[in-house]
Structures are given as structure tokens and as C-alpha cells.
Amino acid sequence: METPLTPLEFARRAQRLYSDREGVVDGELRFTFGEFLKRCDRWSTALQSLGVGQGDRVAYIAPNTHAHLEAYYAVPQIGAVLVPINFRLKPEDFAYIINHCGARAVCAHPDHLEAIDEIRDQISAVEVFVALEGSGDRWLDYERILASHDPEYEPVEISESDLITINYTSGTTARPKGVMITHRNAYINIMGTLAQHHLSPADRYLWTLPMFHANGWTFTWINTARGMTHVCLPKVEPGAIYQLIKEEGITMFCAAPTVLISIANAPEKLREGAPRGVRLFTAGAPPAAATIELIEKDLGWELTHVYGLTETAPLITVCEPRPEHQVLSIEERSKIKARQGVELVSSGEVRVVDEKGLEVAADGSTLGEITVRGNVVMAGYYNDPEATAAAIKDGWFHSGDAAVVHPDGYVEIRDRFKDVIISGGENISSVELEGCLLTHPAVQETAVVGMPHEKWGESPHAFVVLKEDAQATEDELKEHVRSHLAHFKTPQAVSFVHELPKTATGKVQKYVLRQHEPGIATQ
């Protein structure tokens, strides 16, 4: 009596139980779950009529809109594979990914039609081009096609080991790699999140996290599983976030730490009237305790820190709140919440290991690499056996994240191994240094990278964004660090910048910062 483990099961259940409940809000558009899922079925029929079949790849380039969300159901339920692409990439990156995955169809938001038209001669294998809103020369009209098809697509047999998506990594240092996520991978991640975080049909979810990023941490399916309303947000800005939280009664959202910083430091006039008690997930980079404190103390929101990678579907740990944490001050509790936490109940086994593959001591100081094995680990990198073999060794996926394990078993990332600064033989955690700088009242955002140094080999260099109307000097910030951390961790230089370079998911692009200040630091 076994049936495949697939997120598509949640669509069937939602159609049956939540058909009349408001399912999707996108600007002026509002769909019940019944209407939304019927649209998904129509698009499945349309794709089949356009020649898309089982195993074919369908690429999407779009912000958080209802049409993009529909792809997470319409494409996989006909056995095809969704390839959601970072819409902030350059046209040549689009061409590489589309060709690498062998996409048969490309569906794009109007903002990106011109970029695709620029590379049409480079993606000759693509047979179908669909404009998700409106139309253009040589582009099919999504809504017109949708309206002309019945919701009776040809059913196909789906195995839980079939691919549901191929999600491309950011490719900050090399060509992006296509992470193959199976129906089973996604289903197991969803169930783990639901088991450790209470959600209900009363919740309303705001799409601040890009859907293309690890399938929106699988909330593309989680919300539907629990009958939660999807509220779409195509462009992430603090003003729009606060407006929708107030107007739409938002109770839950996900955001990278850099987005949290912009929310927490938004002008008072935007924050005024925002309800307390909103719950949120943060991941994508280690959040500073100071940022968590701002969110929970000033806004009265409840933050849960989770951790994972695109390659792990994506979540593998959660900073699980425990009763003993509630008696701590908000400052102490924020320090614990800044940790990556413990295994998600469904993620499998997570270990922090040394160079010999042995688990490090749970002493809060011995550095090792986070590794994981279990049902959420990807099937591999698409068409890249060498990269797959390098990432999955002896049955364990190696994250590249340097971390320690505390006596209570909670994992805490200290850095990416490639970002650990080795100065005069001492390891310096850029994450720790960033967290310290963020406790200064004038600092809004910061990123620390290692720069070449004549004497020490390399030394920490801090890039700092100050809060509006705030002032601080380089010497003042150095002294602030020196008074809180070991002196050798003090930045050799501080650069004040208007903004930090970031990916579409809010991660700081440290490789760009390293290029920003060429030459040898001699301070």
C-alpha cells in the first residue's frame, strides 16, 4: 500500500480540505486554493500540449509572483523538472544554466524577456518561450494559454526518486552547479519543518524569501500543506514588507539576516503599527546575536534560526528553543539563537568532523566541518560527477562550513572554511568579528574578509555600513572590537561603504569585497 513521498500529495489534500480558503494573494489578485490549484492543473495540460513531457526541464526566471508559484505544482505533476533560476543573474549566466540543464521550455517574467531575447541564438535547444505576464514578440502569453486549456492533464506515474527541481548554486567562484532535488528530498524536508514549527490554516505567509532559492526553503509546498495563505511580494523592500504585514495580517515569513537588518533598522514611521508576535525563519548566513535581539526586543517578533544548504533540500538543523532558554535574558537567549542548533527531526545525521573524519569535541572551541547524511541530501550535481564526488565522500555530504559543537550539542558556524582568516598562524572567525561590530550602536551592517598583509600573511578588513545619521571612526570601531575580543582579532582596516554587495538571497558576496581593496595592507 506504499505511495511515493512527494510534495504533490499536499496539493491533492489542499484541494480537498482548503478549496474555499484564500490560498494566494498577489497584488490585486486573490485566489482560493481551489482556484489556484485548478490554474496549476490547466498549466500542466498546456505544457503537455506544448510538448513538455516526463523528465523534460522547464526553466523559470521570475520574482515571487503567483505565476512562479504555480510552477512548483504544474511542472512536477506531469513528471517534468522545474529549474527555478536566480533572476538577478546576467544574460550569459541564464544561457549557461538553460543550456547546462537542457531546458525544453523557458518561462519568464516581463522584466527578463529582453535578457532572454539577447541570448536566443545561444539557447537554440529551447522550443517553448512563455511570457508569464502579457506577451512579446516570439513569446507565448501565459494567461491566454492557461485560459484555453482544461484542467484535465494526462496523469503520469511519479517515483519519489524522480527529480522535482534542479536548483543552481550561486556560482560565486566558479560556474553554478545544478543541485538535483528529488520528490523524496523535498517531502522529507517539509515534514521536518512541520514537525518542529507549529503552523496552521490560520497562518498567512509573506514571500520575502525568493522562491527560486532552494524552492523557497520548501515553503512553496509547506504553506499549501497547512492551508496557509501565500502572500506574494515581487520586490523585497522594508516599506512593502511592513505594509503587507499590517494590511494582510501576516503571521510568518522567512528572510536572510541582511533582510532582517534592513527590516529592524527601517524608519519608525514604517514600523509603527506593526503587530507583535510575527514568526520568522532566518538562514542563509549566520545571524548576529545583535540582529536577533533587535528583532525580538524592539519588534516583539519570534525568530527561529535554521541552517542548511541547497544541496540538503535545504534544512538540516534548527536552533530548537528549550524551556531552560526562556529564563535567560534576551541578550543571552539571542546568543544561543545565533547558533545553527541541532538536527532537524527528519534531516538525518549531522556531524562536525576534523580532517580525519572524526567528530570534534563538544567543547565550543574545536573547529571542524559540518557533514550530513540522510534523506534530504541531493541526488547529486546535474551532469557533474566530479563535483558530486568531491562533495559526497564515504556517504557523507561535506558542507564546507567550519563550526564548533557546544556541550549541549548545539552546532555553531564560525565561518566558511574559505573565509576563515589565518593571521600570523591564528584562526580568526569573520562571523565572530562581524557579530562584535554589530553590537556598536552606529553599525547597521558589516562584512569582514581577509586581506593580504606583509607581516601576518593576511589580516581582517571590515567593510561597514553605518546607520542613517550615525557616525563612527575607524579607530573607534577598532577600539570597540579590541575591548570585546582578543587583540589579534582587531581589524587592520575599516572601510565605510554605502552598501554591501549581495546575492539575490541576501548573502554578502565576500569575493567582491576582496577585489574592492587590491594590494597589500600595511597598517
Q: Could you please report the per-residue DSSP string of 325-374?
A: GTTS-HHHHHHHHTS-BEE-TTT-EEEEE-TTSPBPPSSS---EEEEEES
Q: Is the pLDDT of residue 173 over 60?
A: no
> What average pLDDT score do residues 455-460 get?
82
Tally of residues, the chain: 523
CB of 246 closer than 8 Å to CB of 238: no
pLDDT digits (tens, 9 = 90+) for 392-427: 999 999 999 999 999 999 999 988 888 888 787 677
> What average pLDDT score do residues 145-171 get?
95
Q: Is the pLDDT of residue 174 over 80?
A: no
Q: For residue 504, what pLDDT band results from cuts at 50, 70 and 90?
A: low
Q: For residue 145, what pLDDT band results from cuts at 50, 70 and 90?
A: very high
What pLDDT is recorded for position 288? 85
422-516, CATH topology level: GMP Synthetase; Chain A, domain 3 (3.30.300)
Q: Which CATH class, in words, describes the domain spanning 236-416? A: alpha beta
Preceding amide of 314 cis, omega within 30: yes
What pLDDT is recorded for position 522? 37
Q: Is the pLDDT of residue 188 over 80?
A: yes
pLDDT digits (tens, 9 = 90+) for 472-491: 999 999 999 999 988 888 99
What pLDDT is recorded for position 234? 95
> What average pLDDT score do residues 88-93 get?
90
What pLDDT is recorded for position 117? 96
Q: Is the pLDDT of residue 519 over 50?
A: no
What pLDDT is recorded for position 518? 41
C-alpha cell at position 155: 496523469
C-alpha cell at position 310: 541547497
Q: What percent of the chain has pLDDT over 70?
A: 97
Q: Is the pLDDT of residue 520 over 60?
A: no
Instruction: Return the domain boundaries, the chain.
Output: 33-180, 236-416, 422-516
What pLDDT is recorded for position 516? 67
Who contacts 509 (Cβ-Cβ below 8 Å, separation ≥6)?
172, 500, 501, 502, 503
Which range has the worst mean pLDDT, 57-66, 203-212, 505-514? 505-514
What pLDDT is recorded for position 521? 39
Q: For residue 505, what pLDDT band results from cuts at 50, 70 and 90?
A: low
Q: Which CATH architecture has domain 33-180?
A: 3-Layer(aba) Sandwich (3.40)
Q: Is the pLDDT of residue 353 over 90?
A: yes
Rounded to the nearest integer, the mean pLDDT of the chain is: 93
> What average pLDDT score do residues 10-32 get?
98
Whether the domain at 33-180 and the domain at 422-516 fall into the same CATH topology: no
pTM exceeding the 0.95 threshold for the entire prediction? no
